[in-house]
Each structure stands twice: as C-alpha cells, then as structure tokens.
C-alpha cells in the first residue's frame, strides 16, 4: 500500500469549529464539573428550552442520541404487532431499525430521483390497511416533500415522525422542518449540523401529551423519580453535552448560512464538469447542506482519484437499506427500488463544513475537473 497522502481537504473539521468557540466551550464544561450537574439538572433543562425555541416547537424532550429519539417517539406514538410504518429506502439505518424495535414492520418506499428524499407517490402506493405511520427523512439536509405526505397522512389517519437528524433549521415552503409531523427527531452526533462532543439527541412536538409520554418512556417510565407508570428505558442527554450544545446553538444559524454559501460556491466551481451531476434543490425548499452529494457514473474511480489528492470523501450510503443483509428477509430486488439502486453506486459526498476555505473548495473542484479530463471517454 502506498502511504496515505497528507490531508489537503478533510471531509469535516470538528477541531476548527472548536477553536472558534474554545473559551465558551471550556467555560461551559468547567461549570458543569464545578456544579456536578452531570445527569438531568439545569443545563439539560436550559438546552431543551433553547432548542424548542430555535425550532419554534413548544415541547422538547432530550435523550441520549438520535437513534433513541426515533425509538422513543415511536414507542410513545404507539405501534402494535403487524402495524406497518413507511420509510425511505435510502437513509441511515437508524430510521428503520427503530421501526422494527418499536414493534412494527418496515415498509420501504423508493426515493425521489432529484432530492434523494422519500417519493410521496411511493408512499401512496405502499399504503395498506395496516399502515399506521410514515417517517420521512430530510436527507442530506434537504426537506422531504411534506405537503403530499401530510395530505396522505390526514386522509388515512397516519402519524408522521420527521427524521430531522441531518436537517436542523431547513425549511419547506418557508416553514421549518420538524413542525409538520406529530413529532420530529434530532441527532446531535458530533458531525451533525448541530453537534455535541459525544452522543446526544432530542424529540420535539406540538403535542403536550405526546411530549409527556416520550419523557416518561425515556426516563424509566416515570416523570417523577420512583413513580413508574410503565416500563421505559434509560435514555438521557447528559449535562456536559447539554452545556456544549447550549454554547453551539446560537452559532447554528450562522453555520447554516455558511453551509448555504459553500453549496452555492461548489455549484459555481463544479458547473459544467462532464459526467458530474450536482445536487438539485426542489422549489420552495431551503436545504441546510449537511452533506453535499454529487453523482458520477465512475464514482469509485473518482473517489480514489480525490483520495490520491488528499481529499476525503464519504458515501452516504453505499447500499440502500432493502439491499442490506439486515433486510434480506424482505426478499427485495434492485428493480423494487430503481431510484435508490441507481443512486447507491453513483453518490459521493464532498467535504463540507462551515470552516472550509475557498482555497480548499478550489482544490476539490480542480481535482474533479482533472479526473474528468483524465477519463474523457468515461462520460
């Protein structure tokens, strides 16, 4: 193996973000330690209130990670054996493993060719009398097409749980994601647009009773210590993570604006490169660019070329869920999900993070253009 080249452009740079807010982060962590407020307590309550305000939804229940937020929401929404829940075929597996764990059956829907999000026509096509809910994912930071999804949900009495793990502050027709469904789940995994320094997650909802049931389930089935109404789980946001998130939250709007500038700049730098498909934004949707995903017929060769130039890329996600061993028992074939199948071999996520420099973006664009020149016949 040849030695790995020095990294010219990392995929993400969490340390750069830390350096920009170091004093505030260090002080916040020191304060949690000074007061020993590790579990529950004022830092967690404050972050829940602040996050609810920023997303404009009244109730926020924090928890240990984004995967738990999906699970907790579905347990509180309530599913019974045999119930079916619709989810996109191409997303991170948290979205669907939690459907199974909550006790329902996952029913995959193919994705939209341009936005990578769940195709509402597929949602309509996959409805059965046993369908109880749908989990749209605002993948890569672009909102799913919520109007037709909410319309179907209303007509068929389904609940809607929005997976907002990649879409903090994204808007659809001027309205924030997370505000459409019965509940919305968020991840604060370090690399997410709002990231903790460890695992963290939250669920938001307009429904006070649902919020109470979610909080109860996440806290061993009791809101008040010792008073267990049901059996629950232990899924807590800890004080250190809450304090870190409270320092970062006021920066989220600025970081999001920066991601939008970066996406626009990539659009200019990469325009017209033969064989490269740039991400498409549907009308009236304002993505937050958690990922900047291009497509290329020779994706693996392109990724290897970029790696040889010290540019890190990621594939989100290399195998669509129905084709994974975990779902082999569904017996799906590639023809069942042609769009997700087409995407999985073509998608490539380029470096994007608020601190990326114009120089770094130019290095990425030049290397992609160089690849196109080296392989003109490869389209």
> Is residue 215 within 8 Å of residue 44, measured between CB atoms?
no
Q: How far is the CB of 205 from ligand PLP (least distance, A)?
A: 17
Q: How far is the CB of 304 from ligand PLP (least distance, A)?
A: 25
CB-nearer residue toward ligand PLP: 139 or 210: 139
Query: Coil, helix or strand for 233?
Result: coil
CB-nearer residue toward ligand PLP: 94 or 246: 94
> Is residue 44 within 8 Å of residue 64, measured between CB atoms?
no
CB-nearer residue toward ligand PLP: 48 or 163: 163
Q: What CA–CA distances, in Å, run from 100 to 30, 64, 200, 274, 352?
A: 40, 19, 22, 42, 32
Q: How far is the CB of 129 from ligand PLP (least distance, A)?
A: 28
Find where tokens 């320092």 sit: 247
Q: How far is the CB of 191 from ligand PLP (least distance, A)?
A: 8
Q: How far is the CB of 30 from ligand PLP (least distance, A)?
A: 25
| Residue nearest ligand PLP, Cβ-based | 66
CB-nearer residue toward ligand PLP: 203 or 276: 203
CB-nearer residue toward ligand PLP: 205 or 241: 241
> Is residue 278 within 8 Å of residue 285, measured between CB atoms?
no
| Cα–Cα dist 222/350, whole Å | 44
Contact residues for ligand PLP, defined by CB under 6 A:
65-67, 91-92, 94-95, 137, 163, 165-166, 187, 189, 199, 201
| Cα–Cα dist 76/111, whole Å | 27
Give strand pairing partners of 349: 293, 314
Return the structure tokens found at 379: 């389209």
């Amino acid at each position: 193996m040849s030695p790995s080249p020095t990294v010219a452009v990392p995929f993400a740079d969490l340390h750069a973000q830390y350096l920009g807010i170091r004093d505030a982060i260090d002080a916040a962590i020191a304060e949690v330690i000074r007061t020993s407020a590790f579990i529950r307590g004022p830092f967690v309550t404050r972050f829940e209130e602040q996050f609810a305000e920023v997303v404009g939804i009244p109730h926020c229940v924090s928890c240990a990670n984004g995967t738990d937020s999906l699970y907790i929401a579905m347990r509180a929404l309530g599913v019974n054996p045999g119930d079916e829940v619709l989810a996109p075929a191409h997303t991170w597996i948290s979205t669907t493993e939690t459907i199974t764990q909550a006790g329902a059956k996952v029913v995959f829907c193919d994705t939209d060719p341009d936005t990578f999000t769940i195709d509402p026509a597929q949602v309509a096509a996959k409805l059965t009398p046993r369908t109880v809910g749908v989990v749209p994912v605002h993948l890569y930071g672009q909102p799913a097409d919520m109007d037709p999804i909410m319309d179907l949900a209303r007509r068929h009495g389904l609940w809607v749980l929005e997976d907002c793990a990649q879409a903090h502050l994204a808007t659809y027709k001027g309205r924030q994601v997370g505000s459409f469904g019965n509940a919305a789940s968020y991840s604060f995994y370090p690399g997410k647009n709002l990231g903790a320094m460890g695992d963290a997650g939250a669920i938001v909802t307009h429904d006070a009773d649902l919020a109470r049931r979610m909080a109860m389930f996440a806290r061993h089935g009791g809101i008040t210590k010792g008073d267990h109404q049901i059996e629950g789980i232990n899924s807590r946001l800890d004080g250190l993570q809450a304090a870190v998130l409270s320092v970062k939250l006021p920066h989220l709007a600025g970081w999001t604006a920066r991601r939008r500038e970066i996406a626009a700049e990539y659009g200019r730098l990469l325009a017209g490169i033969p064989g490269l498909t740039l991400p498409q934004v549907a009308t009236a949707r304002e993505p937050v660019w958690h990922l900047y995903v291009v497509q290329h017929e020779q994706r693996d060769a392109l990724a290897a070329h970029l790696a040889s130039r010290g540019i890190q890329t990621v594939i989100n996600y290399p195998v669509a869920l129905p084709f994974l061993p975990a779902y082999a028992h569904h017996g799906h074939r590639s023809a069942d999900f042609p769009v997700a199948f087409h995407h999985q071999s073509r998608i490539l996520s380029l470096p994007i993070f608020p601190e990326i420099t114009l120089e770094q973006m130019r290095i990425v664009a030049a290397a992609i253009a160089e690849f196109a020149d080296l392989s003109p016949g490869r389209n």
